Amino acid sequence: MYGLIGRMKAAPGQREALIALLLDDVGAMPGCYSYVVARDPGDGDAIWITEVWDNAASHRASLSLPQVQAAIAKAKPLIAGFDSHVETEPVGGHGLPAVG
Amino acid sequence: MYGLIGRMKAAPGQREALIALLLDDVGAMPGCYSYVVARDPGDGDAIWITEVWDNAASHRASLSLPQVQAAIAKAKPLIAGFDSHVETEPVGGHGLPAVG
């Protein structure tokens, strides 16, 4: 599996609007097991996104889907920047499909 | 919802053994929506754990379950330390139960 853990900063005052865009239903995302959008309780502009995919290629491919590109275009003006971005290798756990 | 994102370091050479313990089936964890254990590809001793719970009380209560306490006792000797530990407020996403 392939995982991402990242923190982004919304433009001042735009966190809730950005979260709403990030949670817009973009339809099927092949290979996406988990995608969680969370507020950072310690920073009113910060958002954590954690993702689990079957593999890195599925994540990469998702970025080319027309509906995902449209969502990114809408979100971009509300994003001030990215603080941290980590790739991981999820091994297992709870709340994932039963995969090897 | 209540979320946790943390990175721990295994004692040298003990990462796979520690991951196996972290993934041991501890039975029902009331209120646990997601619990993902991942290797850090950039550090052979590091493990990321990301969690989503219905609320902080459920997470706290889980730490008192006898089977969880037994798992913690087995894991402790294999843990060198915790690098980072962040609480989050998950709002929604994909792969979570349909909750408000």
Confidence of residue B99 (pLDDT cuts 50, 70, 90): low
pLDDT computed for residue A41 by the predictor: 97
In the 8-state DSSP scheme, what is residue B95? S
Poorest-confidence range of A24-28, B22-26, B61-65? A24-28
What integer is the mean pLDDT of A81-100?
87
Distance from CA of B37 to the nearest CA of A (A): 6
Residues with Cβ within 8 Å of A70's Cβ and at least 6 positions away in sequence, in order, are none
What single DSSP character describes residue B99? -
Instruction: Give the minimum alpha-carbon distance from A32 to chain B in angstroms, rounded to a whole number.
Output: 8
Q: Nearest 10 degrees: CA dihedral of A32, A37, A38, A43?
A: 130
Confidence of residue B28 (pLDDT cuts 50, 70, 90): confident
Alpha helices in B1-100 (DSSP H): 15-22, 56-62, 66-75
ipTM, 2 decimals? 0.91
pLDDT at A5 over 60: yes
Whether A95 and B35 have beta carbons less than 8 Å apart is answered as: yes
pLDDT per residue as tens digits for the range A52-80: 999 999 999 999 999 999 999 999 999 99
Q: Are B78 and B18 in contact (CB under 8 A)?
A: yes
Residue A25 has pLDDT above 90, yes or no: no
Residue at A65: amino acid letter: L
Between 3.10.28.10, 3.30.70.100, 3.30.300.30, 3.30.450.20, what CATH number should domain A2-88 receive?
3.30.70.100
H/E element holding A67? Answer: helix A66-75
Burial class (CB in 10 A: 0-12, 13-18, 19+), B99: exposed
The average pLDDT across A16-37 equals 91
Distance, in Å, from the CA atom of A82 to the CA atom of A5, rounded to the nearest integer, reads 11
Looking at chain B, which residue has its C-alpha nearest residue A33? B95
Residues B39, A96: C-beta atoms closer than 8 Å: no
What integer pLDDT is reported at residue B100 of this predicted model?
Answer: 44
Q: What tens digit of pLDDT does each residue of B35-81 get?
A: 999 999 999 999 999 999 999 999 999 999 999 999 999 999 999 99
Measure CB to CB from residue A40 to each of B1, B50, B88 and give the nearest one. Answer: B88
User: Which pLDDT band holds residue A100 (cuts at 50, 70, 90)?
Assistant: very low
CA distance B58 to chain A (A): 15
Given a cut of 80, is residue B98 above it in pLDDT? no
- Predicted confidence at residue B95, as pLDDT, reads 85
Q: Count of CB atoms within 10 A of residue A15's CB?
A: 20
Domain boundaries, chain B: 2-88
